[in-house]
Amino acid sequence: ASREMYLYLVFCIFLYCNEVDALTDQTIQLVTDWAPLIWIHPEEPFFPSSVQFHLDHVQVNNGDDVTLQESPDISSILSGSETGSYHLNTKENLSCVHCYQPFFSGEPLDRTPVYTFVTEHNDDCSTVDATYLFFYPFNYGKDVCVGLEEFGFCVGEWRTFGNHVGDWEHVSLRFQNGQ
């Protein structure tokens, strides 16, 4: 896919106790009709991806940075109360703040799922909450002038803060009485 400006309709993967059938037809229609349009800037180098695409390029390490799982996938990734200090590391180390790996660019948008969590509250207002989640393999932080910035110049030094591997973005909507 080219890196042109994209407006794309979010296609949803409904997650509700792992069964779409648990949602009413009206809720599925409402959440689909109101799925957000996402605009991605034509110069954006970091696109979203599926979680599995990301997992293909990372490993599970413990708090001592010992690799515990080299090839996690959605169904086999380590989980449980003992994993509190575990984290995902890129399989190849990043040697600098501006070092990137090819998978940081994400996937073509036509292969990128949007994970959607839906809750029907079954209250007097027929409240439905929908959260549309987008996963990005990489999030570029901000270049900040540590010193004094005037007219785009930095007296001091520029530093990058906030780069991180793996990032969730989301949009949440609340519907009441079908609107």
| Average predicted confidence (pLDDT) for the chain | 86
Q: Which residues contact 106 (CB under 8 A, 6 or more apart)?
A: 46, 47, 48, 49, 53, 112, 136, 137, 138
Transcribe 57-120 into DSSP letters. TEEEE-TT--EEESS--TTTS--SGGGTT-EEEESS---STT---GGGG---GGG--EEEEEEE
Q: Residue 117's beta-bridge partner residues?
A: 15, 131
> 68 pLDDT exceeds 90?
yes
User: Residue 20 pLDDT > 90, yes or no?
Assistant: no
Averaged over 47-56, what is the pLDDT? Answer: 95
- Given a cut of 80, is residue 53 above it in pLDDT? yes
Top pLDDT among 48 and 23 is at 48
- Nearest Cα to Cα of residue 149 among 158, 136, 137: 158
For 2-17, write each residue's pLDDT tens digit: 333 343 444 444 444 4
Order of strands across the sheet with 58-61? 67-69, 58-61, 87-90
pLDDT in tens, 101-152: 999 999 998 889 999 999 999 899 999 999 999 999 999 888 899 999 988 8
Query: Looking at residue 34, what is its pLDDT?
Result: 93
User: Which residues 6+ apart lie within 8 Å of 34 measured at CB?
Assistant: 130, 173, 175
User: Measured between alpha carbons, how far is residue 44 from residues 39, 63, 115, 126, 139 in Å?
Assistant: 10, 33, 21, 39, 11
User: Structure pTM?
Assistant: 0.80
Provide the residue type at 168 as one letter: W
